[in-house]
Structure 1
């Protein structure tokens, strides 16, 4: 109806001129209309690429119905010498074998009259079916197009490397397990989700009363906790930031859950989550990971820019290493510990005596010759 008001050609065949039962809400009609739109968009992209060289970016994933899908993006330089990326198609594949993926990609290219010899680049993830040098998807294309070089997204590689490195450190792995448990406990039901929003309103009112509130764009907004992903380092960073921002509200929700006699077995989850949240070790690692992730997140964002030369990327890696080294220095450590202490004081977290003897996991004290305090 809206289009008919502005387009006379559409108005001639809809509204009063159409039969009374023509509402265009049938699923078949809607799919047909969307198919026409998609075909026109693909034709426009095809005309935009023309006969120039292009690269393909491909990633596969399952949709909500567990059907394997392959997303295809074209990367090319347009007539104005501007680098462009265009999402082109979403293809259903029966399996994720390299041969199957290549067959479907070649069929798609052929259907839209792309010359495969103009393929000059491939961008996939680091899965074995993609990167294998003999039978991977990139190798199959390289046999026909020797200049279709394969590049594994450097931002993705960085994230995978950071996730794997974090998993090798037991306290950090346990921290993210606890973080995931806290987020799931608070955000697993609509009731607790509403309680979190109400707790945020109370906290916001408290800050306004003492004139301790943030100002600026995006400040003082009602938001939700973010769930950390399995392989996305950026999602871990977002989850930590959201928890630190909503710390008091989350703490209030967990206390109410632990004290709610009608919650049944969920009371145990609330009590366990609250104990995790208010422990000094959890706060310490959370602040430490925030500091590290802020540094690596800047590098990750820079590597995801459309135009990035290798020389500048190397410089960014070097500056990131310098910043991480400064964090490990004596001055960096002292500044960091002051920030941890301030966070604990502001949120009522008990700070242990750092001069006490450190007890190893399992309750065994270290030998006198290996004496360490909690600070050192």
Structure 2
């Protein structure tokens, strides 16, 4: 029954896309929980009222992730959906070599058959790569992100340790957000994890102290190490700096992923963010930020 309903919805959707005439392809591959590679395929199109649509067509299980396999999978989906490749006017992928290699990548292979299918590197992915490379060169940000990840793993991996944290949280800051794990690949979506640590900073210190006292195993040792780090001003400063950077870059990322965002809006937003980050490097601005962190300790 679910399959029949899905086919009905897909037929109606494809009918609207074919009526629009032109479309663009967006695709990305990733492994699911069963460790199988899944290729997601979306179609971007504009209706007669100039309203932009981005619709998921489906997932395709692929054995290999080389350019030839992925391009064949995309063309096979278009054939099955009765969407002529000759009507494709755009391609949107990440920056992996198998997707955007200028000679044998997926984008190049499809353009060989339809030159009008212009490829655009996903803007949000560009921002993600930029943050990833920049963060690697700054030790305080790198160490702060590792700390956030270790705290979340230590507490969330055990119901007993989670209960200790939640009990203390209810006593000290019941309205504060909970702990969230860091996404290992999406660098622009880290504000929630950082906010969870900063909002429960005192609670986490008490939690680590209690785990250290009650656990006489490796987890008690890890809690002691995390406690030592949390009690340092350097750690709190690094977390506040991370939150400052990632909260602003996340706003740009959300804008770039909005299907209604125009090229001009994206360009202006990126320039505003660049000016903001440059402004944070000025002596007066940094002094104000530093004093704000000290006052918050």
**Could you tell me whether the CA contact under 8 Å between 2:188 and 2:249 is conserved in 1?**
no
Aligned to 1:239: 193
Aligned to 1:35: 3
Equivalences for residues 218-237 of structure 1 within 5 A: 220=175, 223-237=177-191
TM-score relative to the length of structure 2: 0.94
TM-score relative to the length of structure 1: 0.75
Shift of 1:263: 4.2
Query: Per-residue CA shift, 1:211-238, capped at 9, x if unaligned?
Result: xxxxxxxxx26x4312222331223332
Select 1:162's aligned residue among 131, 147, 150. 131
- Label 1:108 to 1:171 Cα distance change in 2 as closer, same or farther (>3 A): same
Query: Do structure 1's residue 300 and structure 2's residue 269 form an aligned pair?
Result: no
**Could you tell me whether the CA contact under 8 Å between 1:186 and 1:253 is conserved in 2?**
no
Instruction: Name the stretch that deviates more: 68-77 or 47-56.
Output: 47-56
Select 2:80's aligned residue among 111, 115, 137. 111
**Gap regions ≥5 residues in structure 1:** 1-32, 206-219, 345-376
Equivalences for residues 7-156 of structure 1 within 5 A: 33-51=1-19, 52-156=21-125
Shift of 1:287: 1.1
**Could you tell me whether the CA contact under 8 Å between 2:24 and 2:43 is conserved in 1?**
yes
Query: Per-residue CA shift, 1:272-291, capped at 9, x if unaligned?
Result: 11111221111111111222
**Could you tell me whether the CA contact under 8 Å between 1:160 and 1:231 is conserved in 2?**
no
- Alignment partners' CA distance in 1, 2:264 and 2:32: 38
- Alignment length, in residue pairs? 296
Q: Which has the higher contact order (CA 8 A, sep 6+)?
A: 2
Select 2:213's aligned residue among 259, 264, 268. 259
**Could you tell me whether the CA contact under 8 Å between 1:227 and 1:235 is conserved in 2?**
no
- Alignment partners' CA distance in 1, 2:173 and 2:66: 52
**Could you tell me whether the CA contact under 8 Å between 1:254 and 1:273 is conserved in 2?**
yes
Equivalences for residues 328-343 of structure 1 within 5 A: 328-343=281-296
- Alignment partners' CA distance in 2, 1:128 and 1:164: 17
SS in structure 2 opposite 1:235?
coil
- Alignment partners' CA distance in 2, 1:240 and 1:59: 27
Shift of 1:309: 2.6
Of Structure 1 and Structure 2, the greater helix share is in 2
**Could you tell me whether the CA contact under 8 Å between 2:131 and 2:188 is conserved in 1?**
no
- Alignment partners' CA distance in 1, 2:103 and 2:212: 56
Which has the larger Rg?
Answer: 1
**Could you tell me whether the CA contact under 8 Å between 2:43 and 2:55 is conserved in 1?**
yes
**Gap regions ≥5 residues in structure 2:** none
